[in-house]
Structure 1
Amino acid sequence: MLLLVSWQVAVDGPALELDRLVRHAVRELRHVLGSTPADRLGELFADLGEGSVAVPVLFLGGAVASWREFRAGRARWWLPLPVAALTAGLIPLLVVPAKIRFARPGPSGLPLTAEQWGWYPSGHTTTAALAYGVAALLVCRAAGPRARRVLAGAAALLWAGVGLGLVWREYHWLLDVVAGWCLGGLVLWALARWPLTCRPGRPGTRRPAAGG
């Protein structure tokens, strides 16, 4: 999906008509509704994609996960914190070069200025997907089944809400947001398959050799 969307953005392909249709539909709906709580809710969710909001949540998730892993006696209890730090550093590495490469104008239709990078992919969406998603994933590893469901649902709500809020407020095209979702999903998919911790056993303890 990410490759398809990126290709269409790069060549100004027919799939971009979807962006224009969605923008038109959003404008019509906002005109009908007028100034409503939906605008304020959209703005709120869009703001949750700010790095100043999402990244502290990411580090908090790493700290909570490390503490819970330590309490559970995991050998690599400290690992969630550097994972959170690496995730925070990965976000601009994924987003900024792509923005510069595609240099896509935003929904306003105005050309890019010299200091602008472009709108594709959405940095707010990618930040939300990775920050909230990785925070939830780290904490989920040391949580019970019910807490995992709650955390996963909350992360998904934030992930989706930020993207939809950006489209509703016309800060981004829909495909910018889709690309941000895809980037976040790929990283989360890879991280979910990486064993971050060992089974119970304080650092320095050794398991008995097989056979006694």
Structure 2
Amino acid sequence: MSETPRSRETVGDTSAGLPQRRTGHAFAHTPRRSDGRPPQTPRGPRQPDPGGRPGTIPPVPGRPATSPRLAAALCGLLFALVTWQVLVSGPLLAPDHAISRALVRTIPDSVTERLSDLGNVPVAVPVLALAMAYAALRGRRLAALAAGAAMLAVPALVVPLKEWTARPGPLEPWAAGYYPSGHTATAAVAYVGAALLVRPYVRRPWPVAVALVLTGATATGLVLRGWHWPLDVLASLLMCAPLLIGVDRVSRRSTRRSSG
């Protein structure tokens, strides 16, 4: 059977049956917005923070972040509750005594005393002083002053509370003045305050983590050694939380101003 021209066209040229793209007004037209701008405006690059990291992504709408004022108020309320229980010998003191009896001197004193020494003024305060000096040299004097004010507030709060509550110690029931723990308060404000000051200049959040570990080690050593009740160190942490929240807010504002 002979091959006709029509059959050769059908078999050999398969592209003849495909639809061809037609150029015309429909393909040449580019949709535009009514205000004359392009249909989608490209986003500009995010500004980096002082540490050189890319800017953070804005929070998701509908999920507001926890208010620092609310957190500070909650800590203050819990601190007032614990203080009231200590003053009236309330029901919270029973588990407090039980936990202390179960933990005191379960670890050698040589270890717990070293941990407790982390809250000594000659050990903790120089760390904060160095961080304050560094922040001031970098132009964040307001943040450094806020951290220093928080440290000055520690004895101004702790000393009157010790005299007012006159709580005896776990191993010295004849003594008084154990509530709240001054060593825990000193460690918290010094170490965490220093971490908040140097945080904008490092690429990882390790300063705050190290500060929390040092503060927790101080509180743990005080309880295990029998120098403080668990509620003593808990109250100090609750008391210092609003101070550190204030330092954090001032530090963030100072960072934005110095970077701007």
> Is contact 1:19–1:173 with CA below 8 Å preserved after alignment?
yes
- 1:171-210 alignment, distance < 5 Å: 171-194=227-250, 195-197=253-255, 198-200=257-259
What CA distance in whole angstroms lies between the structure 2 residues aligned with 1:139 and 1:160? 20
Provide the residue aligned with 2:173 in structure 1.
110
Higher RCO structure, 1 or 2 (CA under 8 Å, sep 6+): 1
TM-score between both structures, scaled by the size of structure 1: 0.78
Encode CA deviations 1:123-173: one digit per residue, 9 max, x unaligned. 000000011111111111x32341xx1101100001111001000000000
Residue among 176, 190, 201 paired with 1:143: 201
- How far does residue 92 in structure 1 lie from its aligned partner after superposition? 0.5
> Is contact 1:62–1:83 with CA below 8 Å preserved after alignment?
no
Provide the residue aligned with 2:9 in structure 1.
none
Task: Name stretches of at least 5 consecutive residues in structure 2 with no aligned partner.
Answer: 1-77
What CA distance in whole angstroms lies between the structure 1 residues aligned with 2:147 and 2:208? 17
Residue among 93, 97, 101 paired with 2:160: 97
What CA distance in whole angstroms lies between the structure 2 residues aligned with 1:82 and 1:17? 41
The count of aligned residue pairs is 180
What CA distance in whole angstroms lies between the structure 2 residues aligned with 1:199 and 1:191? 16
TM-score between both structures, scaled by the size of structure 2: 0.64
Provide the residue aligned with 2:135 in structure 1.
65
Is 1:10 the counterpart of 2:126? The answer is no
- How far does residue 41 in structure 1 lie from its aligned partner after superposition? 2.6
What CA distance in whole angstroms lies between the structure 1 residues aligned with 2:254 and 2:174? 44
Amino acid at match of 1:193: R
Is 1:41 the counterpart of 2:99? The answer is no
- How far does residue 3 in structure 1 lie from its aligned partner after superposition? 1.6
- How far does residue 187 in structure 1 lie from its aligned partner after superposition? 1.1
What CA distance in whole angstroms lies between the structure 1 residues aligned with 2:258 and 2:142? 13
What CA distance in whole angstroms lies between the structure 2 residues aligned with 1:100 and 1:53? 25
- Please list every run of at least 4 consecutive aligned residues from structure 1 whose deviation after the TM superposition is greater than 4 angstroms: none
What CA distance in whole angstroms lies between the structure 1 residues aligned with 2:144 and 2:163? 30
SS of the aligned residue for 2:201 comes to coil
Q: Aligned-residue CA RMSD in angstroms?
A: 1.8
Provide the residue aligned with 1:23 in structure 2.
100
Is 1:78 the counterpart of 2:134? The answer is no
- How far does residue 109 in structure 1 lie from its aligned partner after superposition? 4.1
What CA distance in whole angstroms lies between the structure 1 residues aligned with 2:179 and 2:131? 28
Amino acid at match of 1:121: P
> Is contact 2:187–2:218 with CA below 8 Å preserved after alignment?
yes
> Is contact 2:118–2:124 with CA below 8 Å preserved after alignment?
yes
What CA distance in whole angstroms lies between the structure 2 residues aligned with 1:41 and 1:184? 25
What CA distance in whole angstroms lies between the structure 2 residues aligned with 1:144 and 1:161? 24
Provide the residue aligned with 1:126 in structure 2.
185
- How far does residue 188 in structure 1 lie from its aligned partner after superposition? 1.0
Amino acid at match of 2:180: P
Amino acid at match of 1:13: G
